[in-house]
Amino acid sequence: MTQTIQRKLNDSAFARWAAVILISLMMFFAYMFVDILSPMKDNLETALGWTSTTYGTYGASEYFLNVFFFFLIFAGIILDKMGIRFTGLLSASLMVIGAAIKFFAVSNLFVGSNLEATITGWNIMGLPGSAILACLGFMIFGCGCEMAGTTVSKAIAKWFNGKELAMAMGLEMSIARLGVFAAMWLSPIVYKMGGSQVSAPVLFGAVLLMIGLIFYFVFCVMDRKFDKQLMAAGELVKEEAEEEFKLSDLGNIFKSKMFWLVALMCVLYYSAIFPFQKFAPDFLAKTLNVDSDTGAQLFSCFPILAMVLTPFLGGFIDRKGKAASMLMVGSVIMIACHLSFAFLLPVFPSKVLAVAIIAVLGVSFSLVPAALWPSVPKIIDNRILGSAYCVIFWIQNIGLLIVPIIIGAVNDATGSYVAPMAIFSSFGVAALFIGMLLKREDKKKGYGLELPNIK
């Protein structure tokens, strides 16, 4: 008797890679919006009266609700209980709402109005009203953005189970990081086309986020069909019956030593990357004595090598393994780059040297994420995978909240970027140490971080 084997949607290479492209474009627009005002730091100071400390507080606000109100923890529970379709649409909607508030905060509709004067009078940390409202919008956007990041990770893990998982995650990260490149180039152009208004790039980014929401809706249509196929094959029913998510299962995450090592690696590494992105255009402009637009364009080279290399590095991990080793190599590269920014570039202020250091830092930004995120499913059960990603992101957000405030305050106090760059490099040293512990623990317990992903 011949048994018919049903071909599922993710068995089609075209379908599963199309799914990755759709959700990656949503994250591309999200990453672009994160840094949409990074090239505008000088303009914010001139037009709205922001200081470096104000700007650092604004940058940190993206993570405030995630950290202090534990939104990311709840996001993980929502993700594991409600699934990737509901959670993805919710996160995309929150990003659009937050972007709209942020646009209003820096627009002529609000700046100079009685409402701004009233909010400024609240004297929240001594911030101007435009910064207070912009922070509120960025907080809401940040809830959606971080929730989206974890949702996308679980979605890719679902669609690429037993397939090219690391390569798929690498491709998603590459497309998302292209948003940083786009922000550095397009933000100044849109600013000038919009009559030299800092609100113009924000509005542009908000519109793109709405398009990203539409793309994720299309993905949801595909995922619903995929679920029907899994149910027909009996796979989804089995998973729900035997591995239903329970709130008490969260304790298993916190009991895992490997989880804590991965989480610490994540917060230390990304604390030296994402806050740096917000200050990099201003750092380059002042160190090289160029205008802010040129500084932004120089830094736009950062995600290029990462964008190109990450899928290939993911493919290498899928077939050859060595993820733990790559985490350590990436940390070493980051240390060298930030020390070069602190002590070498100010002595030899060359655009060529600056681009070279930025490009090499991009290599580090390929190695670490390509190895880090596909390793999480190897140490955490699938039924609590969404919660695990969210807890890691929550811990990461603590660093991303604190570090921009510290960097802004240190920059104001010293009038130099030497100390901030030294702080960034110290995070790399700590990340390298955690990477060594991670590799040793994997060798002892056999989680398979050094083994290939493709079975």
- Residue 241: its pLDDT value, please? 36
Structure tokens at 259: 């989880």
Query: How many other C-beta atoms can be found within 10 angstroms of the C-beta atom of residue 7?
Result: 9
Distance of CA 239 to the CA centre of its chain: 30
pLDDT at 285: 92
Both tokens of residue 25? 């474009």
Which two tokens mark 268? 């230390």
Find tokens 């637009």 and name the residue.
293
Distance (Å, rounded) from C-alpha 43 to C-alpha 35? 14
The predicted pLDDT at position 237 comes to: 44
Q: Encoding tokens for residue 350?
A: 């060359």
Q: Per-residue confidence at 248, pLDDT binned at 50, 70, 90?
A: low
Three-class SS of residue 113? Answer: coil
How much is the pLDDT for 455?
Answer: 62
| C-alpha torsion 264→152→310→356, nearest 10 | -70
Predicted confidence (pLDDT) per residue in 50-76, tens digit: 988 899 899 889 989 988 888 888 888
Report the alpha-carbon angle 107-108-112, nearest 5.
115
Highest mean pLDDT of the ranges 130-134, 323-327, 440-444:
130-134
Q: How confident is the model at residue 238 (pLDDT cuts 50, 70, 90)?
A: very low
In this model, does residue 197 exceed pLDDT 60?
yes
Residues whose CB falls within 8 Å of the CB of residue 112, separated by 6 or more in sequence, listed in order: none
Give the span between the Cα atoms of 188 and 38, in whole angstroms. Answer: 10
User: To the nearest whole percent, how much of the chain has pLDDT over 90?
Assistant: 45
3-state DSSP of 148-213: HHHHHHHHHHHHCCCCCHHHHHHHHHHHHHHHHHHHHHHHHHHHHHCCCCCHHHHHHHHHHHHHHH
Three-state SS at 44: helix
Q: Is the pLDDT of residue 339 over 90?
A: yes
Mean pLDDT, residues 5-32 taken together: 88
The residue with greater pLDDT, 238 or 173, is 173
* Comparison of pLDDT for 215 and 150, the residue scoring more: 215
- Among 274, 267, 101, CA closest to 180: 274
State the average pLDDT over residues 316-344.
Answer: 90
pLDDT on residue 247: 60
DSSP 3-state helix, strand, coil percentages of the chain (rounded to 5)? 80, 0, 20
Ordered alpha helix ranges (H), 243-350: 250-254, 257-271, 274-288, 292-299, 302-320, 323-339
Res. 1 pLDDT band, cuts 50 70 90: very low
The token pair at 303 is: 């995600």
Torsion of CA 366, 369, 370, 371, to 10 degrees: 120
For 112-164, write each residue's pLDDT tens digit. Answer: 899 999 998 888 888 999 999 999 999 999 999 989 988 998 899 888 877 77
Measured distance CA(341)–CA(279) in Å, rounded: 12
DSSP state of 38: G
Task: State how far the Cα of 364 lies from the Cα of 371, in Å rounded to an integer.
Answer: 11
Give 353-375 pLDDT, tens digit per residue: 999 999 899 888 888 887 887 78
| CA distance linking residue 9 with residue 26, whole number of Å | 21
Query: Which of the pair, 138 or 314, is modelled with greater confidence?
Result: 138
Tell me if residue 263 falls in helix, strand or coil: helix
**pTM for this predicted structure:** 0.79
Under CATH, to which class is 14-445 assigned?
mainly alpha
What confidence score (pLDDT) does residue 245 get? 53
How many C-alpha atoms does 221 have within 13 Å on its Cβ side? 7
Q: Which residue has the higher pLDDT, 20 or 13?
A: 20
339 or 176, which is more confident: 339
Domain ranges of the chain: 14-445
Stronger pLDDT, 106 or 369, i.e. the higher one: 106
pLDDT mean over 229-252: 60
Distance CA 315, CA 321 (A): 9
- Helices and strands in the chain, H and E counts: 20, 0
Residues 179/27, Cβ–Cβ less than 8 Å = yes
What was the pLDDT predicted at 196?
86
Q: What is the pLDDT of residue 235?
A: 63
pLDDT above 60 (res 2): no
In this structure, are residues 393 and 401 in contact, taking their beta carbons and an 8 Å threshold? no
CA distance 277 to 341: 13
Q: Which helix (H) or strand (E) holds 436?
A: helix 418-445
Cβ atoms of 52 and 203 within 8 Å: the answer is no
Asked if the model's pLDDT at residue 5 lies above 70, the reply is no
397-423 confidence digits (pLDDT tens): 899 889 999 998 999 899 888 999 999
Q: Return the pLDDT at 212.
A: 97
Average pLDDT of the chain, as a whole number: 87
List strand residue ranges (DSSP E) for 377-441, in order.
Answer: none
Percent of the chain surpassing pLDDT 70: 94
How many Å apart are CA 151 and CA 23, to the nearest integer?
Answer: 10
